[in-house]
Amino acid sequence: MKSIVVLISGSGSNLQAIIDACNSGAIPGKVNAVIANKADAYGLVRASEAGISTQVLSHKAYQDRDSYDLALIDAIDQYQPDLVVLAGFMRILTPAFVQHYSGRLLNIHPSLLPKYQGLNTYQRAIDAKDTEHGCSVHFVTEQLDGGPVILQAKVPLFSDDDVASLAERVHEQEHQIYPLVVRWFCQNRLQQRADQAWLDGNVLAANGYANDDED
């Protein structure tokens, strides 16, 4: 049973999807802690209701990014994680943090990377009059949103979309692919499945993701 720590800053709908997948047995792992940098993150409520330990570590209480990240490492390592999951965690992490969790630090980003790294991806895609958008699960590296992509999901972008309608469509796919990638990691199949997903075209159908064959 792998130990998972999830970092959040907001609603926690991806956290909820991962909790649910752990509770159903789809993920052979357990979320042992949820840590937020914002006290009002609703994901803390989700975690508490699921009986999961929570902690708020505000970046505002630290003079600089380095000292915050060292405190964050101390908080996380109490739980001896096999995997650290960023689920809407809105802080840029230092090289020291990224190196400490190298190979076991994931993020989900609301675009088809490498398009639209950074923030405000929905509005940028709408402004560009793109016809498709999506989300990407990737390893976290020092390069912001530049880490190796593991799995993506694509959705159509309609001319009458606004940020809310596009975000809703992308979130549906996020809640599919993030638990799937976490499952692969916990099954020690991440590289094999990621390679296969890439061979299968990596970017998945707009109406869902390829079936994850049982072992």
Ligand X SMILES: NCC(=O)N[C@@H]1O[C@H](COP(=O)([O-])[O-])[C@@H](O)[C@H]1O
Toward ligand LMY7XDAE, which CB reaches closer, 55 or 187? 55
| Options 10-18, 50-58, 122-130, 193-201: segment touching ligand X (CB under 6 A) | 10-18
**Alpha-helix residue ranges (DSSP H) falling in the chain:** 13-24, 42-49, 65-77, 95-100, 121-127, 163-186, 190-199
* Residue 144 sits in the site that holds ligand LMY7XDAE (CB under 6 A): yes
- Binding test (CB under 6 A) with ligand LMY7XDAE, winner from 1, 92, 96, 163: 92
Toward ligand X, which CB reaches closer, 26 or 196? 26
CA distance 193 to 204: 13
For 35, the token pair is 């840590």
State the number of CA atoms in the 13 A half-sphere of 29 facing the CB: 29
Residue 87 near which of ligand X, ligand LMY7XDAE, none (CB within 5-8 Å, type-dependent): ligand X
Toward ligand X, which CB reaches closer, 44 or 188? 44
* Residue 134 sits in the site that holds ligand X (CB under 6 A): no
| Options 8-16, 21-29, 70-78, 158-166: segment touching ligand X (CB under 6 A) | 8-16
For the chain, how many helices (H) and strands (E)?
Answer: 7, 8
Query: How do beta strands 149-156 and 132-139 pair?
Result: antiparallel
Q: Which residues bind ligand LMY7XDAE (CB under 6 A)?
A: 86, 89-93, 98, 107, 109, 118-119, 140, 142, 144-145, 147
